Structure 1
Amino acid sequence: MSKEATVAESPYCRDLDPVSRRRYKQLIDRYVGCDPYLIKLSEFSRKPQDLPLIEAVDITNYLVLQTSHYTKQQMKAYKSLEAYDFFISGWVQNLGTKRLRENDRLVFAKVNLPEIK
C-alpha cells in the first residue's frame, strides 16, 4: 500500500482536483506531516509570542516574488487591499499557531467572509 493511501485526508483534500490534490499532499508531507484540516483546535497555541516573526518584507517577497498574487504597486498601497480591510474590520478570528518540524510553524485563523449576492 502506498504512503499516500495511508494518510488520513480531510474533506477539503478529497474535494480537490487530482493535480491540486497531489500538490497539496506533497506540501503536507514536506512541511506538516498530516492534513492540517484534521488537527484539533486545542493543539494550536493562542499566545502571540508563539507566532512566527514575520516582517512586511517577508509578506511582500512571498506575495509578489514567489506567487505573483500581487504587484509591487499593490503591496506599497496595502491599506487599499480588500484583505487588509477584512483583517482590520475583525473578519480574522481564532488566530493560532502550531510548531511543526524543526522551525516550521502552521498558522491557523478563521476568516469570516461577507455573503456574495
Structure 2
Amino acid sequence: MSVITHVDVLARYNQKAKDYCGGFDPYNMKSEKKPLPRNVGYFDVYNYCIGKDSAFTHDSFRAYKSLQTFQYFENGWVQSIDCKKITTGFIIVSKVKHSFRLSWKALRCWVAIDSNGIILTAHCECMAGLGEVCTHVGAVLFVLEAWNRKSTEIDRAESISCTDVLAKWLVPKLKEVIMASVADICWNPVPEVVTHDSVDNTSIAITDPDPEDVAYYSLNDT
C-alpha cells in the first residue's frame, strides 16, 4: 500500500476544486443560501459511500459506517448547511459536530453534486475526511436525502385532488346532542333553527358547524 503524503492530499484537493467546483475552493466561496437540490436519493448516498472508487487507493470506499450516520442527522449534529449553485451542479458547505469531541468547534465539510443528483466528491476537515468519505460527510448526505423525501411528500400532497382522499365531513360544534323525533327536527340549511319538543318544551338547537372543526372519516366507517 502506498503512503499518502501531504503533497498527494494537496494535489488531490486542488484537482477536486478544478474538476467539480469551477476552479474555486468551496471554503472560500461566498455564501448564497440557494435552495438545496431535491434529487439526492438514498441510492445516490449508497453508491457514493460504498461503490465509488478512492482517488488514492483506486478501490471502492466501502465506508459502511457512513450509512449509519443518519442518526447524526436526526440528533442535530449538522449545525448549518449552505448551498452554492454552479454551472455543473451544486456545492454544499456544512458545519458538523465532532464524532467524539462535542465541545470542540464544528468541522467544516463540503460536497459536490451534479445537476442529476449524483454525488461527485466530498471533503472534510477531520482526518478521515481527507479520504473524501467520513461520518460527517455522511451526515450531510443524509440531510440532502431527507430533503429529497420531504420535498417529494409535499409535492405529492399538493397534487392530490379531492377525489383522491377519504371523504371529509364537517362535525357540528355542539357539545351535547339532545334526542328528538325526526318530525321535530328541521333539516333546512339555515344558520340556526330552534324547535320545541312537544312533551317537555326542551329547546333543541341545530347550528352550522364551525369551519375549524373538521374531522376525517373513512367511507368504510359509515
User: Which TM-score tier does this pair reach, normalised by the shorter chain?
Assistant: 0.5 to 0.7
In structure 1, which of residues 38, 41, 59 is the aligned counterpart of residue 45 of structure 2?
59
| C-alpha contact (below 8 Å) 1:51/1:107 kept by paired residues | no
Residue in 1 that maps onto 2:63: 70
* Alpha-carbon distance between aligned partners in 2 of 1:31 and 1:95, rounded to the nearest angstrom: 19
Residue in 2 that maps onto 1:34: 24
Question: Does residue 4 of structure 2 align to residue 18 of structure 1?
Answer: no
* Alpha-carbon distance between aligned partners in 2 of 1:52 and 1:100, rounded to the nearest angstrom: 15
**Which residue identity lines up with residue 78 of structure 2 in the other structure?**
V
Larger radius of gyration: 2
| C-alpha contact (below 8 Å) 1:92/1:112 kept by paired residues | yes
Residue in 1 that maps onto 2:94: 109
What SS is found at the alignment partner of 2:39? coil
* Alpha-carbon distance between aligned partners in 1 of 2:42 and 2:10, rounded to the nearest angstrom: 30
| C-alpha contact (below 8 Å) 1:28/1:34 kept by paired residues | yes
The structure whose RCO (Cα within 8 Å, separation 6+) is larger is: 1
Q: Runs in 1 of length 4+ with deviation above 6 angstroms? A: none
**Which residue identity lines up with residue 28 of structure 2 in the other structure?**
L
Q: Which has the higher strand share?
A: 2
* Alpha-carbon distance between aligned partners in 1 of 2:38 and 2:17, rounded to the nearest angstrom: 19
Correspondences of 1:76-95 after superposition (within 5 Å): 78=67, 81=68, 83-95=69-81
**How far off its partner does 1:94 sit?**
1.6
* Alpha-carbon distance between aligned partners in 2 of 1:87 and 1:37, rounded to the nearest angstrom: 21
**How far off its partner does 1:57 sit?**
0.7
| C-alpha contact (below 8 Å) 2:49/2:61 kept by paired residues | yes
* Alpha-carbon distance between aligned partners in 1 of 2:61 and 2:78, rounded to the nearest angstrom: 23
Residue in 2 that maps onto 1:10: none
Identity across matched positions, percent: 24
| Structure 1 residues 25 and 36, CA gap change in structure 2 (3 angstroms) | same
Residue in 2 that maps onto 1:6: none
Residue in 2 that maps onto 1:99: 85
What SS is found at the alignment partner of 1:109? strand
* Alpha-carbon distance between aligned partners in 1 of 2:16 and 2:63, rounded to the nearest angstrom: 22
Matched pairs, number: 90
* Alpha-carbon distance between aligned partners in 2 of 1:51 and 1:97, rounded to the nearest angstrom: 8
* Alpha-carbon distance between aligned partners in 1 of 2:48 and 2:81, rounded to the nearest angstrom: 20
TM normalised by structure 1 equals 0.64
* Alpha-carbon distance between aligned partners in 2 of 1:92 and 1:100, rounded to the nearest angstrom: 23
TM normalised by structure 2 equals 0.36
